Structure 1
Amino acid sequence: MRQILLGAAAAAMLAGVAAAPMPGLGPQAAQAQSSNLFQPVVYVNDRAVTRYEVEQRMRFLQILRAPDTSRAAAEKELIDDRLRAFAARQVGVSASEEQINTGLEEFAARGNMGVDQFTQMLGQSGVDRQTFEDFVTSGIVWREFIRQRIIGMVDVSDAEVDQEMQKIVETPRVTAVSLSELIIPAPAGQEAQAMALAEDIVARTRTEADFAAFARQHSATPSAQNGGRLPTTALANLPPSLRPILLQMQPGQISQPLQVQGAVVLFFLRDTQGTLRPGAREQVLDYMRVRVATPDEAARLAASSDTCDMLSANTSSLPADRITRQTLSQGQIPTGEAIRLAVLDNNETTVINYGGAVDLLMLCSRRGALVANPPETPAAPEGQDGAPNPDALPSRDTVRNQIFNRKVGAAAENYLAELRANAIIRRP
C-alpha cells in the first residue's frame, strides 16, 4: 500500500496548508501546524498512521455515510488496513496498477460516476485521491489474501444447508409492519442540511423513545404529535420500492435516510406480523422398521445400533422382507407408527410389540417437507406489481453460497483479530 507521506497528493496538501496559514498564526506557527498534520498518531508493526490519514478517512467515511464516522472508528480502520497489508506482504500478495484502476472504476460506478468525477466530488469535500486509492487498494489486497489463504479451508456441509433452509422455512413471511415515520423537509438548496440532520438522527437513535422524540421535534407530518407512529399496515399496501428495505430490517431498527422529492425520510420498525409458508410445518421422516421374534432381540439390536447405517449392518443376515427403510411424509405413515416416531430424535429407537411379532423402529432423520422437497420457483414473477412468489424458497446452491460467504467472512475477521492481538501497536 502506498504511504500518503510519499504521495504527490500529500505533498500538495502540505504545500497548501503552509501557503494558507490559519488566521492569527504567524509563519512559524503555520509551518508547525502543517508539520503536525503528518505526525504519526499510532504505529502498527513500525508502520505509521498519521493524523492526516485519520482526518482524511473520517471525511471519506462521512461521504460514504458510514454508521460510525468518529475519529476512533477512522483510526481503527487504518490500523486494520496496516494489519491487512502486513499479512499480505508476508505471503507476497500485492495489487497491480490494473487491479487498482479496475477497483477504483467499480467503486465509483456504485454512485453512477466515473473515477475522475468521483475524485472531483471527493476533492470538493476535502478528500484527496490518494485516500480513495488507499481505501480501494486495501480491499483488493485483503480479498486476494483471503482467496489464497482462507477460502480453501472453508466448507459447507449438506447438513448446514438443510439447517439453514429449515430456518428459512420456519421464519414467518412478513405480511404487515408497524412503522414510525420522520419526514424532514428538504427544499431546493437545503438537501444537504436535511440529509445531515437525518444521518445525525440515525446515529443517535437507540430506542423507539429516541426516534419519537426526534419525530416530535423535526418531522413535518401530522404523525409527529404521536412520535411518528403509524397504524399497522399490510406490507402489500406499501410502495414496492420500500418493501425490500423494510424486509431487511429487524424490529427496533431505524432505516438509513431515504431521499425523496423535497424531503428526507426515516422509518423506525416497531414490529412485524407474518404467516408461515404453506406446508411449513409438514415433516418428512426417514426411518427403519425391523421385524424380529422377541422383545429381547429388539432390545439387543437397539443397544448395538447407534445409527440407521449400523442397524442395517447388524440386520444384514435377516430376510429382506423383515427390513424396511423408507422416507415418507407424516400423512403417509401408519398412525400407530407415526405416534411412536413423533417422540423420537434422530437415531433413537422404539419397540412395538404386537403380541406375536415385534417391530423395532429407528428414526434416521426428520426434515421439513419443504426442505426435503422444495417447491419449484416460478419461472416468471407473479402479481400485478411484478413481485416474485412470496412462498418460493431460495435454491440450495443460493443458500450454500450464503453460508459459505458468512463462514469466509467470519474466518477473515478471526484472522484479523489474531493479527491485531499479535501486532506491536504503540503510540508515540
Structure 2
Amino acid sequence: MAAMLAGSGVSPAFAQGNPFQPLIYINDSAITRYEVDQRIRFMQLLRAPEADRAAAEQALIDDRLRVFAARQLGITASDEQIDAGLAEFAGRANMGVEDFIQALGSAGVERQAFRDFVAAGVVWREVVRQRVMPQVRISDAEVDQELQRVIETPRVTHIALSELIIPAPPGQEEQAMDLAESLVQNVRSEADFAAAARRYSATPSAPQGGRLPWTPLANLPPSLQPIVLSMKPGQISQPLSVQGAVVLFYLRDTRGTLRPGAKEQVLDYVRFRLASIADAQRIAAVSNSCEELFIHARGLPPQQIQRQTLSQGQIPTTEALRLAVLDDNEAVVSGQDGAAEILMLCKRQSALIAGGAQPAPVATAAAGGEDAAMPDPDALPDREEVRNQVFNRKINMAAENYLAELRANAVIRRP
C-alpha cells in the first residue's frame, strides 16, 4: 500500500456539472457526485479490483446502509474511535495518519472522504458486535467437521508454478504494476498466462511460457510459501513488488501427502443383546440414538448392553464389517441361536480428532548456531483456534447477509 501511495498513480475521475448534485438517494440521505468522484479516486489509489463508477456508487450505498443500521441501534462513532480507525488503516501502509492523508491529498482524495470511509467501518463493527454476534453459535460438531476437513486435506509438499517477472527499473514501477494488475484481471487460463509470459517476462523461462519444473515447497523462500499455499491450482497471484521488478505466479498444480494417522478411525458404538429378533427389531426401529437404546435397557443386566469406543483395528472383524456400512445413530440387527443383537454406531470419528487436537508441537533446530522454533507440520491446529476461525467465518457471512437485507429493504432511488 505504501508503494501505491508513493506512486499516486490515480487516473482522474472526471466530474461533470455541479459536484454536490445528488446522484442517489438512500432512505433519508443522499450521495453526491463529489462523493462518488472521491471514492473512485480512493479505490483507484488502493488498487481495488473494481474501481469504476458503478463500484464506487455501490460502496457508498453500502456505507450509507451501515450508518443507517447503526443509527437505528443508537450507535455513533466518537472522535477517539474514528481517530483509532484512521491510525489502524494508515498503519497497514506503515504510515502515520497525517502522512497517509497527505499522500491521499496528493492524489486528489480529501481528508473527509477518508474519514467518512473509516467512520462507516467503525460503526458497522459495533452493529455486527451488537446485532450479529449474539446470533452466531458454534457447535462442537462444527469444530469437528472443520478439523476433519483439515485432516482430509493433503499437506502440499510439491508445487508446479509458472512465473512472469516484469522489469520495473527506477521511474517505471507504476507502469510495471499497472501491467501486472491488468494481467491479473485478464488472465483466465494457463494458456493466457503462458502467452503473457512469452511477451512480457524477463526470465529464461519466458520462452516456455514461464513454466518452472515441479519444486519442493520447502525450497521456496519462506516469504513466498504462504502466498503459494493461499492459492488453488489454476489461480494467478496478486502482483508482488520486489526490487527492480513486479512478479506474478500461476499455480498449475500441487502434490501432497496426508498427515500420519489421517485415515485411522475411532468408532463409538453400542452392542445390545436381546432374547428375540422381534424385540431387537422393534427397539431398533424406535431408537434414534445410542442414548435411546439405554432407555429400553432399563432394568436389564449391564452385560446385555455395552457402549465402547475403539479404534478400527481393535474391533472384532465381524462387528467391524457391520459397523462399516452404518452412519451415526444407525443400527443393524442380527440373530443367531434364538438370540438377537442390535449394533448401533454412535459416532465415527478420525483417530486424530478423537485423541484430542493439541496445539502444534514445536521442534527445536539449530540454525546458524542458534536455536530456532519450528511448528510440527503434522500437528493439528488447536481446537479453540479452529473454533475461532469457524466463528469469524460465520460472523462475516451473517454480516454480509444482514447488509443484503438492509439493501433489500432500503428505499434507493435516483433523481
With the length of structure 1 as denominator, give the TM-score of the two structures.
Answer: 0.89
User: Can you give the 5+ residue segments of structure 2 that lack an aligned partner in the other structure?
Assistant: 1-13
1:378 CA drift (Å): 4.4
Corresponding residue number in structure 1 for 2:138: 156
Whether 1:168 aligns to 2:150 is yes
Question: Is 2:360–2:380's contact at 8 Å kept on the other side of the alignment?
Answer: no
Deviation string 1:321-372 (CA, Å, 9 cap, x unpaired) is 1111011111111112111111111111123434364322110111111122
Match of 1:268 among 210, 229, 250: 250
Alpha-carbon distance in structure 1 between the residues aligned to 2:18 and 2:238: 36
- Out of 16, 19, 22, the position equivalent to 1:40 is 22
Q: Which residue of 2 aligns with 1:418?
A: 405
Cα drift, residue 211 of structure 1? 1.9
Establish whether residue 279 from structure 1 lines up as the match of residue 261 from structure 2. yes
Report what 2:10 is aligned to: none
Q: 1:327 to 1:199 in 2, by over 3 A?
A: same
* 1:124-145: CA deviation from partner (whole Å, max 9, x where unpaired): 2221111111111111010101
Partner of 1:238: 220
Deviations 1:54-90 (Å, cap 9, x if unpaired)? 2221221222222222221111101101111111111
Deviations 1:101-127 (A, max 9, x none): 011111111111110111111112221
Residue 6 of structure 2 is matched in structure 1 by none
**Alignment partner for residue 316 of structure 1, among 298, 320, 337?**
298
Shift of 1:295: 2.1
Of 122, 134, 154 in structure 2, the residue corresponding to residue 140 of structure 1 is: 122
| 1:299 shift after superposition | 1.5
Judge conservation of contact 2:36–2:53 (CA < 8 Å) in 1: yes
Equivalent residues of 2:267, 2:349 under 8 A apart: yes
The answer (yes or no) to whether the contact 2:361–2:375 under 8 Å persists in 1 is no
Matched-pair contact (CA < 8 Å) for 2:361–2:376: no
3-state SS of 1:150 partner = helix
Q: Deviations over 1:305-328 (max 9, x none)?
A: 121111011111210111110111
2:18 and 2:353 mapped to 1: Cα distance?
A: 62
What are the residue-to-residue correspondences of 1:61-100 with 2, within 5 Å? Answer: 61-100=43-82
The 5-angstrom pairing of residues 401-416 of structure 1 reads 401-416=388-403
- In the alignment, structure 1 segments of 5+ residues that lack a partner are 1-21, 23-32
Q: Count residues in correspondence.
A: 397
Corresponding residue number in structure 2 for 1:373: 355
The yes-or-no answer on 1:427 pairing with 2:414 is yes
Is residue 57–residue 74 contact of structure 1 (8 Å, CA) maintained in 2? yes
Is the 2:360–2:381 contact (alpha carbons within 8 Å) kept by the matching residues of 1?
no
Contact 2:361 2:379 in 1 (8 A): no
Q: For 1:192, which of 159, 174, 178 is the aligned residue?
A: 174
What displacement does 1:247 show? 0.7
Q: Please state whether the residue corresponding to 1:37 is helix, strand or coil.
A: coil
- Of 73, 88, 97, 1:115 maps to 97
Tell me the residue number matched to 1:223: 205
Partner deviation per Cα, 1:260-290 (whole Å, 9 max, x = no partner): 1111101111211111111111111110011
Check the 8 A contact 2:357/2:383 in 1, yes or no: no
Cα RMSD (Å): 1.8
> Residue 254 of structure 1: CA displacement?
1.1
Q: Provide the TM-score with structure 2 as the length reference.
A: 0.91
Letter in 2 for 1:395: D
Deviations 1:195-249 (A, max 9, x none): 1221121122222222222212211112222221212211111111111011111
Whether 1:291 aligns to 2:278 is: no
Q: Deviation of residue 381 (structure 1)?
A: 4.5
Deviation of 1:172 after TM superposition, in Å, equals 0.9
Q: Segments of 4+ in structure 1 off by > 6 A?
A: none
Quick check: 1:59–1:126 contact (8 Å CA) kept in 2? yes
The 3-state SS of whatever aligns with 1:278 is coil
Counterpart amino acid of 1:400?
R
> Deviation at 1:379?
4.3
Aligned to 1:345: 327
Offset at residue 416 of structure 1 (A): 0.9
The alpha-carbon deviation at position 46 of structure 1 amounts to 3.7
Tell whether the 8 Å contact from 1:374 to 1:393 is kept in structure 2 after alignment. Answer: no
Question: How far off its partner does 1:52 sit?
Answer: 1.9
**Maintained 8 Å contact 1:182/1:267:** yes
Counterpart CA distance in 2 for 1:54 and 1:225 is 44
Q: Could you tell me which residue of structure 1 aligns to residue 7 of structure 2?
A: none
Give CA deviations for 1:162-195 in whole Å, capped at 9, x if unaligned.
1111111111111111111110111122222211
- Between 1:378-387 and 1:208-217, the stretch displaced more is 378-387
Q: Is the 8 A contact 1:381 1:389 kept in 2?
A: yes
Q: Which moved more, 1:192-201 or 1:373-382?
A: 373-382
Tell me which residue corresponds to 2:8: none
